[in-house]
Amino acid sequence: MILIYPPVAKPSEPPAGIAKLCGALNHHGMKYRVLDANLEGLLSLLKTPPVSSDTWTSRALRHLSRHLDSLHGWDAYPGSRKFPGSSREDECAHRLAGMSPHRDVDQELRPLPVGLHQDDGRYRRAIKDLSRLLEMTGRSSRVRLGLANYQHEELSPTRSTDLVRAAENPEDNPFYPYFRKRLTELLKKEQPSIIGFSLNYLSQALCTFAMIGFLKQEWTGVKLVLGGGLVTSWMRNPYWQNPFKGLVDHLVAGPGEASLLSLMGVLQFGDNHFWPNYDSFPVRDYFAPGPILPYSSSSGCYWNRCSFCPERAEGNPYIPIPVEEVVSDLLRLVDRHKPVLIHLLDNAISPSLMKAISEHPPGVPWYGFARVTRHLTDLDFCLALKRSGCVMLKLGLESGDQAVLDDLQKGINLEEASSALKNLKKAGIATYIYLLFGTPPESLIEARRTLEFVVKHHDCIGFLNLAIFNMPIYGPEAQQIETKTFYEGDLSLYTSFDHPKGWSRPLIRQFLDKEFKRHPAISSILRRDPPVFTSNHAPFFVMKER
Ligand code: SF4
């Protein structure tokens, strides 16, 4: 079996979904190979001179290896400075001796000067030049290509007919020269009976189908399996009908371990939790100063109440791994791969897991999504999180208006949010705050309250993500509001709607561009955001070199 992660997705860390499949296959002694065609494909295109060039592109190509080196080292990341007297070995020794892994308490507890004295020029230049090279390479295929972007001028990843077209014409894909050679060599050598694709983002869809089309033409007889987050969302649509018959042999919704194992003839596997396995990935080659280890301690969401949440709309159940197993998984994975950062992928890390990690630190920095809960209003809890290695929490605040939050059933109290932000700052944990504009209960008045809240807490906010609300197409709320087709595709996950307060997308954009983003306290937060990689690289902007 060969498991493939197709282009294009941020190439900063190995794909966690495939690592879980590897864990399950290993457990049952199955042979497999992994191909991160995203990382390899992007590197291959970056090294191929674009057909047409200009001064900027030629210079970007000349500086390519320097840019790649700087993204693989620490110096380009503005937050990173050598932490005197600290090393991973120090921490492990403390951990093994049953002590908390803090080093110099003064340094540890001092809030990092996020955004101050930062020189991110090298980082930004590297990202700009790499993006330029990809953009110029994609042009001849009519694709707007980037490190996390793939937009075809005509073909849409939300139309099944366009995905089938991409499969019928794989040679039109800019990655074709790479994957034709790579897949041909790999298939000749491995002679697999099954090839699985993990499709998680819209930016991967057209390339996935181009690769599927190539395999279908050249390697008849190999079973093609397609799973991943995006495929799961498609298949959760109550009106789903498979438009890829004859092209894909098996489509898998949800975790793919059971389906793959049964395809391989393993029918008895219980409900085991399989350890993710990263042995087959080039963990040091990703665009980061060292290996990032993604880890998911649950699927679904323990809160699962926010109205308009896609997780909830899709009916994905909350399935956590017991916290003791998570703690031991993390220790084992850290020991094996020596990551510089753990990325917890949960939709919301549960307070019980945060507590367990505080008591049994993994020995390396970590970050992830959490909910704003009363736990974060306890300074000691935040300090313990910091000592356990927490460098950043991503928090879905969504709004600075209490009535909007209540209507969305976010379970967030703004006074608690204020206290949490202040405590996290005191503890030295950076925050990446997610705001959502244009939800049905919001109007300009409430959006201005969000602006006020952010301005009032600007010194506690490390980074900001601003999004305009999309209505999940099959959620219960979409049935109650006048909706229209949004992306005009049969695979669209969202629908546009008539906002009950007339707070339409053009008005929201105008407010964001002319008012919200222009506020000096907010614009300086927005300027900090790492381009393209955003929250995936933000921890490196606030943490020290290990
Ligand atoms: S916390 Fe996040 S994932 Fe959980 S229900 Fe709310 S929006 Fe959905």
Is the CB of 307 within 6 Å of ligand 1?
A: no
SS3 342: strand
Token pair belonging to 432: 């990446």
What mean pLDDT do residues 125-144 have? 96
Contacts of 451 (CB under 8 A, 6+ apart): 400, 515, 516, 519, 522
How does DSSP classify residue 442?
-
Residue 429 Cβ < 6 Å to ligand 1: no
Residues paired with residue 484 on neighbouring β-strands, in sequence order: 496
Number of other CB atoms surrounding residue 230 within 10 Å: 21
Q: For 39-63, what is each residue's pLDDT tens digit?
A: 999 999 999 988 878 999 999 999 9
Best of 308, 309, 432 for a ligand 1 pocket test (most atoms within 8 Å of beta carbon):
309
Query: Quick one: the chain helix, strand, coil %, rounded to 5?
Result: 45, 15, 40
Give the pLDDT band of residue 403 (cuts 50, 70, 90): very high
- Stronger pLDDT, 195 or 80, i.e. the higher one: 195
Residue 404 has pLDDT above 50, yes or no: yes
- Give the burial class of 105: count Cβ atoms within 10 A of its Cβ; 0-12 exposed, 13-18 middle, 19 or more buried: exposed
Q: Tell me the best of 296, 299, 304 to mutate to test the pocket of ligand 1, counting ligand atoms within 8 Å of each CB and taking the most.
A: 304
347 pocket-lining for ligand 1 (C-beta < 6 Å): yes
Q: Tell me the angle at which helices 379-387 and 351-359 cross, rounded to the nearest 10 degrees.
A: 60
445 Cα: distance to centroid of ligand 1 (angstroms): 24
Which phi and psi (to 5°) does residue 533 adopt? -85, -15
Confidence of residue 256 (pLDDT cuts 50, 70, 90): confident
Task: Name the residue with higher pLDDT: 12 or 470.
Answer: 12
> How many A from CA of 178 to the centre of ligand 1?
38
Does ligand 1 have an atom closer than 6 angstroms to the CB of 301?
yes
474 lines ligand 1 (CB under 6 A): no
303 lines ligand 1 (CB under 6 A): yes
Q: Whose CA is nearest to atom 5 of ligand 1?
A: 304
Does the pLDDT at position 115 exceed 80? no
Q: 309 CB under 6 A from ligand 1? A: yes
How far is Cα 103 from Cα 85, in angstroms, rounded to an integer? 8
Q: Counting atoms of ligand 1 from 1, which one is nearest the CA of 310?
A: 8
Determine if ligand 1 sits within 6 Å of the CB of residue 394: no
Of 87 and 317, the structure prediction assigns the larger pLDDT to 317
Tell me the CA–centroid distance for residue 450 and ligand 1, in Å.
Answer: 19
Tell me, what's the pLDDT at 88? 33
| 488 band by pLDDT with thresholds 50, 70 and 90 | low
Our answer on whether the CB atom of 511 is closer than 6 Å to any ligand 1 atom is: no
For the chain, the average pLDDT equals 89
306 Cβ below 6 A of ligand 1: yes
- Closest residue by CA, ligand 1 atom 8: 309
Confidence of residue 238 (pLDDT cuts 50, 70, 90): confident
Residues of 197-228 as b/e, b for ≥16 C-beta within 10 angstroms? bbbbbbbbbbbbbbbbbbbbeebeebebbbbb
For residue 312 and ligand 1, the question of a CB distance below 6 A is answered with: yes
pLDDT of 102 higher than 50: no
Q: How far is the CA of 307 from the centre of ligand 1 (A)?
A: 9
| Least confident interval from 8-17, 157-166, 426-435, 466-475 | 466-475
* Helix extents (H) in 147-201: 160-168, 176-190
Quick one: average pLDDT of 358-377?
Answer: 97
**How far is ligand 1, taken at its centre, from the CA of residue 422, in Å?**
23
pLDDT of residue 90: 33
Tell how far the Cα of 314 is from the centroid of ligand 1, in angstroms: 12
What average pLDDT does the segment 489-515 reach? Answer: 93
User: Is the pLDDT at 85 greater than 70, yes or no?
Assistant: no
Q: Report whether residue 313 contacts ligand 1, using a CB cutoff of 6 Å.
A: no
Q: Is 311 in the pocket of ligand 1 (CB under 6 A)?
A: yes
Distance CA 181, CA 179 (A): 5
Residue 217: the pLDDT is 95
DSSP state, residue 545:
B
Span from the CA of 312 to the centroid of ligand 1 (angstroms): 8
